[in-house]
Amino acid sequence: MTIRPGDVAELLQHLIRNRCVNDGTPESGQEVRSADLLDDYLGVRGTRFEPHPGRVSVVYRIPGTRSAPTLTLMGHTDVVPAGADGWSVDPFAGDRSDGFVWGRGAIDMLNQTAAMAAVFRQALAGDLRYPGDLVMLAVADEEAGGRLGARWLVEEHWPEVATDYLLTEIGTPALRGQHGPGIPVTVAEKGPQWRRLHAHGTPGHGSQPYAADNALVPLADAIARLSSNPPGPHLSDEWRRFVAAWNPPNDLAAELLDPDRIDHAIDRLALDDLGLARWVHACTHLTVSPNVLRAGIKANVVPDRGVAEIDVRSLPGQDELDVLDHFRKAIGPGFDELEYEVVEATVANGSTPAGPLWEALRGAITDTAPGHHLIPAMIPVGTDARFFRTRGTVAYGVGLFDDRVGFGDFLRMFHGHDERVSEVSLGLTALLYARTVERLAAAM
C-alpha cells in the first residue's frame, strides 16, 4: 500500500486555502467548502449533516464484511482565525516551501484530516481492509466547542456516528526520556470550565467619583486577585502515568511527581523551553485565564455593569465545586459582590491506554518509528473526542512527526504564528494510521 506524502501535502494545501475560519459565530466556518473538497478527493459523496447553513460535517463509511468493532478516523475542517501580522507567509495561501506546508490549520488539525483522507482513499480503493465498519468523519465547528459539529452529531445523530474506536487530534512530535524517544498519545483531556463574572453598579457622572458604585472596580479587583492567587499543583493519576512513560532525564521525573518541587521545575523548564513549561504547568494545575473584560460605555460615565470571561480548565478529579471553591478563596472578600455564570462545565475525561486499539497503535509505532514507544498523555485543551468518550468510545489522539520542530516549539504553533508541518510528517502520520488499521484488523 502506498501513500505519497506529496499527495497528503497537496490536499492539506487545499484545505488551508478553503479558509474555514471559525470565529465562534454560527455564520463563520463554512466547512461546506472542505466537505466538497473531500468528496472530490475521495471520489464519493459522504452523508452530510448541516445544523446551520454551510456548517457541514460529513461521514464516509465503508461497511464491514463481518461483525467487528467500528473504527472512525475523525478530523475537523475548521480553523481558528489568523491575522497576517506575525506570520512569515500569508496564513491562508497554503504555501509549500523548504519541505513544509505553511498556514492556519497546518497542525491543528488539517494535517491529520488530510492524512486520514489519504488513508481512507486507500481503503476505498481496496488497498486497505478492515473487517468492521471503517468511517471517516470530517467535522465542522471543533474550534467553537462542536455545537455545530461533533457535539451536535453525538447528541442528535448518535446512530449515524456511533463508533467503538476513534482516532483524532492531537498528535505531537516525540518526547525524549531515559526510555528513549516516546510518541505522546492523547488519552485524556482537561475539562473546559468557562465562567462569566458579572458585576453590577450604579451609573453616575465620571467627574464626581466619590463613593461611586463602579461596576468595573470589583471586576478588575477580582481578576487581579485571581492572577495573584493561582491554584497550586494537583498531580492526577493521568499525570503520574505520563511522567512514568516519558521518564525525562536527570532528576526531572522526581520533581515532576513531587507537589512541593514541581512549580520550581516548571520555572526552570521555562528558561529553555517555554512551550514545554506551559504544557507541564497546564497538565498539573487548575488553570484560570481571564481573557475578556467588558465594562463602561464612555469615559465620563461611571459603568453600571461589567463582565469578565474566564477560561478555566479542570484536571481529572476536579469539578464545578472545585472551581467555585478556588474563586471564593482567591477573590476573597469581593467574592460576594459578583455573580457567577457557568458558560461551560465539562469535567476532564479519558480512555484507558490498554486494549485492542492501544495494542494496534503500539504495533503500528514499532512498524513506522522503530525504537519509539507510546506515552499516554493528558492534554490541556479540549477536543471532539470527549463527546464520544461520554458514549463509551475508546478515543485517542495521535500523529507522527519528524524532528524538524521540537515538542515545545510545536505546541506554541497551536493557534499561533507560522503554523507549519513538514511533508515528511504528513507521510508518517498517514502511514501510522494505515498501519494501525491493519494491526487492528489483524487482531479482529
**Distance in Å, CB of 138 to Zn ion, minimum:** 13
Q: What cell does 371 get?
A: 525504537
* Cβ-proximal residues to 239 (8 Å cutoff; 6+ apart), any chain: 256, 283, 284, 315, 378
Q: 80 or 437, CB closer to Zn ion?
A: 80
Q: 169 or 238, CB closer to Zn ion?
A: 169
Q: 109 or 379, CB closer to Zn ion?
A: 109
Burial of 184: CB neighbours in 10 Å, binned 0-12, 13-18, 19+: buried
**Distance in Å, CB of 170 to Zn ion, minimum:** 6
DSSP assignment of 173-242: --EEETTEEEEEEEEEEPEE--EEEEEE---EETT--TT---THHHHHHHHHHHHHS---B---HHHHHH
Q: 56 or 256, CB closer to Zn ion?
A: 56
Q: What cell does 243 get?
A: 511522567
Closest CA to 305 of 224, 219, 221: 219
**Distance in Å, CB of 256 to Zn ion, minimum:** 26
Rg (CA), the chain: 23
CA angle 43, 44, 47 (to 5 degrees): 150
**Distance in Å, CB of 168 to Zn ion, minimum:** 9
Q: 95 or 169, CB closer to Zn ion?
A: 169
Q: 122 or 172, CB closer to Zn ion?
A: 172
> Which residues contribute to the site for Zn ion (CB under 5 A)?
108-109, 169
**Distance in Å, CB of 42 to Zn ion, minimum:** 21
Burial of 272: CB neighbours in 10 Å, binned 0-12, 13-18, 19+: exposed
**Distance in Å, CB of 109 to Zn ion, minimum:** 4
**By the 8 A CB rule, do 190 and 314 touch?**
yes
**Distance in Å, CB of 108 to Zn ion, minimum:** 4
**Helix, strand or coil, per DSSP, at residue 45:** coil
Q: 192 or 303, CB closer to Zn ion?
A: 192
